[in-house]
Structure 1
Amino acid sequence: MELDDVDWKLLDLLQRDGRMTFTELAKRVSLSAPATTERVRRLEQAGVVTGYAAVVDPQRLGLPIEAIVRVRVRSLDTPRFRERVVTMAQVRDADHVTGDDCWLLRVVCRSMVELEGFVEQAQRYGDTTTSLVFSSHVRNRPITREVVDGIVYR
């Protein structure tokens, strides 16, 4: 799908605030509300915009421990790992990756005891390496035209 400057501006605005009204979007891109609505619907139908979500702070919900758990799953155990570990409620993100580790999991827990239990479950399927997250400096950075066009160095 070919995107023009207005499409990119809409994507930028929606990635930063998915609850922005069509009226506000229209003002920001200098189009009418119906034209803006049509463009956003076109982006949705093309699969460029796949959904809208609230960003929730796990700490405010009593989940102060965040960790990255890397797992080297034995190949025969992959289906069971997907079924039993990836589906656990503590898992916020699960990426099947190349390299020494097979899986990269971002998990949140109420306590170190809970994290220990989670890691023990994951270790049933292979070796793990766990890193506690001190802070996150970039999360869900919007995808921009510069990245898509390959203009990433300044």
Structure 2
Amino acid sequence: MTDEIDQKLIIALTDDSRRSLKALAQITGLSSPSVAERLRKLEERGVLKGYSVEVDPHAFGYQLRAVVRISPLPGQLHEVERQIEATPQFTECDKVTGEDCFIAKLHVRSMEQLDEILDRINIYARTNTAIVKKATVKRRLPPMT
């Protein structure tokens, strides 16, 4: 379990993973060494799994983001998974229950590039693709209480 101070630390780091120990200490009312110790314990327990940066794919020419539901053809599940893993434009993929086996997100530079990627996948699966117009809810934490 986490307490209120741990939750403040997690929220602060989610907002800005580059916050200094001094800034985190001010937010929590703890000393910098106490914050460092709490972070170490959160890491050891697997609550904090890493620290990251957010990169804008547009800066690299990726103009479109798509969500693809993927249903492998019979006997092709592992090959579809290999194809997704081998395609760097897939930036996220979840194996799910239900009619589709995978829900994947990918970034592409053009509709032509999207078609090329989907053509490779469609040898092994049926796909259903939606182009993302806007991120209504950006990635966020679920409630901690």
Per the normalisation by structure 2, the TM-score is 0.95
State the 4+ residue runs in structure 1 displaced beyond 3 angstroms: none
CA RMSD of superposed structures (Å): 1.1
Q: Greater CA deviation, 128-137 or 69-78?
A: 69-78
What displacement does 1:82 show?
1.5
2:24 aligned with 1:3 = no
SS at match of 2:75: helix
- The equivalent of 1:150 in structure 2 is none
What is the CA-CA distance between 1:29 and the residue it aligns to? Answer: 0.2
Residue number in structure 1 paired with 2:77: 78
CA distance in 1: counterparts of 2:52 and 2:74, whole angstroms? 34
1:120, distance to aligned residue in structure 2 (A): 0.8
Counterpart in the other structure of 1:51? 50
Partners of 1:41 and 1:75 lie apart in 2 by 46
- The separation in 2 between residues aligned to 1:23 and 1:91, in whole angstroms, is 37
SS at match of 1:69: strand
What residue is the counterpart of 1:140 in the other structure? 139
Displacement of 1:121 in angstroms is 1.1
Q: Which residue of 1 aligns with 2:101?
A: 102
Q: For residues 69 and 120 of structure 2, what CA distance do their matches in structure 1 show?
A: 13
Q: TM-score, normalised by structure 1?
A: 0.90
Structure 2 unaligned residues grouped into runs of 5+: none
Identity among equivalent positions (%) equals 31
Taking the aligned partners of 1:115 and 1:107, their CA distance within structure 2 comes to: 9
